[in-house]
Structure 1
């Protein structure tokens, strides 16, 4: 069972997001997208049960290297690095590149995170499945492989659905699918020495122009200080009502 896992390097969720000159400052602590960690863990568990290999694939600049090496330390055999700056790439361009990278080798299964915690669009894996012509099941919370069929349970907005998906297929991982492992020290040391397979844009047919353009990026305005109301409960309620009506403009005057 040869499995590809699509991963993304994102700013760690405990890091503040800073906007500098109309762009997000990328010089912050980074990590593998948390949903991609669930995808990688599931791929590793399937490999440990059925045999085969796990290859991680990612697009990005130099900041992507750490995520790829972390994936190798967790147990992936190979890492493919598509060296391209992603600041101006949209989901269309990213999915075209990833589908091209998957097509370089024959895989039985592709895993990815249900969405990324930075953009949150949840488009890339679905687009990759469409470009490959493979079936897709999203937001899975359980997976079992039997022969050439993946038996999955997927989150359906508070309910669940059971699907049988013929392989090859693309599956995206939802929170609750598993508990990702921590890389062992031996794996970390080994991953540092292991070369990354760099895949240039020429091998994927050249640079792909995005179809969406980001016009602006602005920092969230500072949150104003809170206001303490005084007086009796009745007076506080009246003042709060006036503030909601006259300043916040969330209530209509009657």
Structure 2
């Protein structure tokens, strides 16, 4: 969601809009243009520069696909500064101590200090040369969220773009730079021989469909395990073993039960020909 003012009095509404936009964006990326009718699915059983005042620095090496992010006044601190292209999971926490914050991912070659702004002094997220593959919701003090975002090779900036009555958070220049590196080299078939989760619907609401897309070796035998936030393994329809197509692609779609309790973070584990990949899926 771009060029929106996050007035704290409207934080709840904005959070809902942000979550919906994030889930729809990822679903679209997977080719799931709209949620499949529940009549066709069987429901599962219930079950760079961090900031001017920050002295902490992130680790220099590539992440393993999961990055922890801390938001506060006034810094954004990721646990890594780079990762391989693919679906990257961000565990986000706002440590305050006094304000709500948000986490927005911008892909751009523009230096952070030169990013264009609007009249209210917030960042212009729709300016030329800027795209946003994903973002989290507005987080209150002490709140957390996990999102999984498909990210391609390139340069990124993580920002907080909330606008309060008398303050645009971007004025504090809290940001972090991030680099997404090329995926592992591929063979003539276009596959690296590894298994990776390319996209995943997250967050997803109870009662809605989840979709995951995986890249592996062509013709690979693949299985999937979805584990509820409760830790119980799902037996939902749609989670049967599959064979990767000629391009090494395989997808699964299944329904998240409306009775899922507790809500929170579940796990998706995919194994193809002995190679595994895992991602967090947020159920809300």
Structure with more of its chain in helix, by fraction: 1
TM-score by length of structure 2 reads 0.22
TM-score by length of structure 1 reads 0.24
Larger Rg: 1
